[in-house]
Amino acid sequence: MKTIIIILSGIVMFLYGCSDTVINNTGSPVVYNEIQTIPLPDNYTIKLYVTGYDSLTYAYNKVYLKVFLGSTAQNTGYIKVYPQMRMTPHITHSTPVSDSFMYNASSGYFEGFMIFNMPTTPPDLVWKARFTYFDASGTSHEEDSIQLYTSLHPEKQLKYFYDLADTMYYTLTMVSPFAPSAGLNDLAVMLHSSDVYQQSFTQITNAQMYINVYKADSLYQTQGNIHPEIGTGGIYYGRVNTPHKGTWIVSNTIYYNGRYITNNPPPMPEFNIVVE
């Protein structure tokens, strides 16, 4: 197996079965790990990449896709993905993913996110996804029941909560930090809603969030935290102050649609941030 690094006007060449390595503008290498090849009809192929891990994971994943017609990479059209977890032949649920994976000329990939609300335990529990590539003419090329496997990592977190008033499930997902340090850390989260059947999810981009950060073993509360506000990509960005080593709890109160949705009933959704 080889890793080939070619830097030419931001274009990265790669070999099947190998990682793509790019030198970004800070001089740090970014390695795109190819984890799956998905054959489509009409001689199309999708290749799936992630960074930082060697598989898809529970909770948030930034996902990079490449599309080929034969051996020729495509840079037009878009991709849709619909995952399902089939608990039994008659009980299924989905999970939040990007509405569409769009081509980013800067990276050379179709980009988006996949948030998996369950890790897999093969052979009984695996995700099965439908991948559809819409080419420049709008013609669709689709393959269903593609198996996807997700590993469990403690730094990857999401929280479910149910609001009795509107009978909706909400998914609050941590996007970062995954490797926090002592001091101020950037915090990024996403919020989705779904009905009780969880077959489709809606990304919420107009909520207000208020965070508190405290030490798990002493309830000492820190100051200087910045409440998350909506930014690019439907992600809420803030900052958390974790001044020294230990486990810190980030509690999030969410106001949406004219009322607080996180107090029906308490407790609030919380993330553990471990500073080592």
Question: Would you say 256 and 205 are in contact if contact means Cβ atoms under 8 Å apart?
Answer: no
* Residue ranges in the chain modelled with pLDDT below 50: 1-17, 23-25
Question: Would you say 190 and 235 are in contact if contact means Cβ atoms under 8 Å apart?
Answer: yes
Residues 50 and 173 in one domain: no
Tell which of 151, 186, 220 closes a domain.
151
Q: Please count the other Cβ atoms lying within 10 Å of the Cβ belonging to residue 91.
A: 9
Entry field: residues in the chain: 276
Residues 142 and 51 in one domain: yes
In this predicted model, what pLDDT tens digit does every residue of 116-141 receive, in sequence order?
A: 999 999 988 999 999 999 999 999 99
Residues 221 and 171 in one domain: yes
- Could you tell me the CATH number of the domain that includes residue 216? 2.60.40.10
Per-residue confidence (pLDDT) for residue 3, from 0 to 100: 36
Domain count, the chain: 2
Residues 262 and 190 in one domain: yes
Per-residue confidence (pLDDT) for residue 175, from 0 to 100: 98
Tell which of 130, 151, 172 closes a domain.
151
99 belongs to a structural domain: yes
Domain that holds residue 47: 20-151
Residues 170 and 147 in one domain: no
Residues 31 and 144 in one domain: yes
Please give the Cα distance from 204 to 23 (Å, whole number).
34
Q: Would you give the distance in Å from CA 267 to the centre of its chain? A: 24
Residues 44 and 102 in one domain: yes
Residues 137 and 202 in one domain: no
Per-residue confidence (pLDDT) for residue 251, from 0 to 100: 95
Please give the Cα distance from 269 to 250 (Å, whole number).
8
Residues 93 and 68 in one domain: yes
SS3 34: strand
Tell which of 116, 151, 186 closes a domain.
151
88 belongs to a structural domain: yes
14 belongs to a structural domain: no
In this predicted model, what pLDDT tens digit does every residue of 136-174 receive, in sequence order?
A: 999 999 999 999 999 999 999 999 998 888 899 999 999
* Sequential DSSP letters for 79-94: EEEEEEEESSSS-EE-
Per-residue confidence (pLDDT) for residue 27, from 0 to 100: 53
* Sequential DSSP letters for 188-242: EEEEEEE-TT-S--EE--S-EEEEEEEETTT-PBPS--EEEEE-GGG-EEEEEEE
Residues 115 and 216 in one domain: no
Residues 114 and 174 in one domain: no
Residue reference for tokens 């998914």: 171
8 belongs to a structural domain: no
Per-residue confidence (pLDDT) for residue 7, from 0 to 100: 28
Please give the Cα distance from 189 to 274 (Å, whole number).
17
Q: Model-level pTM?
A: 0.88
Per-residue confidence (pLDDT) for residue 95, from 0 to 100: 97
SS3 55: coil
